[in-house]
Amino acid sequence: MATAKTATYIAAIGRRKTSTARVRLTEASAASFIVNDKPLEKYFATKDLVRVAKESLEKPKDVKDYAITVVVKGGGVHSQAEAIRHGIARALSTTDETMKSEVKKLGFLKRDARSKERRKFGLKKARKSSQWSKR
């Protein structure tokens, strides 16, 4: 009977608008970043989105190498990148108390709750109404 190697990981959830990212951090000798079974650079087309997703790893000091796997659903690509950043920051904050204070100062632990306002009946959009004419 073969013994299965169980890797311990740190799990966290990050959210932004309607995007939800489930993040798993596993300590590794070399850093790797996989989003929905694709490398990070392949999943996000622009360098700006890659930078946003990696911000919570690069800005704090003394971050270890982690093998990161992410499953992200919903929303657009930008809100998905921000949800990944939020999830990584939450996972890092559970590892070390000093890391939590660093990530909190950078503002990555805050859940950005802004989302699209719902449409009201009788209006064209959330607040846009028909043009009013006096005569």
The CATH number given to whatever domain includes residue 78 is 3.30.230.10
Q: Based on the structure, what is the number of domains in the chain?
A: 1
Outline where DSSP puts E strands in 3-135: 10-16, 19-27, 32-35, 38-39, 66-73
The answer to the question of residue 116 being in a domain is: no
Nearest C-alpha neighbor of 89 from the set 76, 74, 101: 101
User: How does pLDDT run across 83-102, given as a tens digit for each residue?
Assistant: 999 999 999 999 888 889 99
The answer to the question of residue 61 being in a domain is: yes
CB atoms within 10 A of CB 18: 14
> Considering the entire predicted model, what is its pTM?
0.86
User: How does pLDDT run across 3-36, given as a tens digit for each residue?
Assistant: 666 668 999 999 999 999 999 999 888 889 999 9
The answer to the question of residue 98 being in a domain is: yes
The answer to the question of residue 1 being in a domain is: no
| Domain around 39 | 10-106
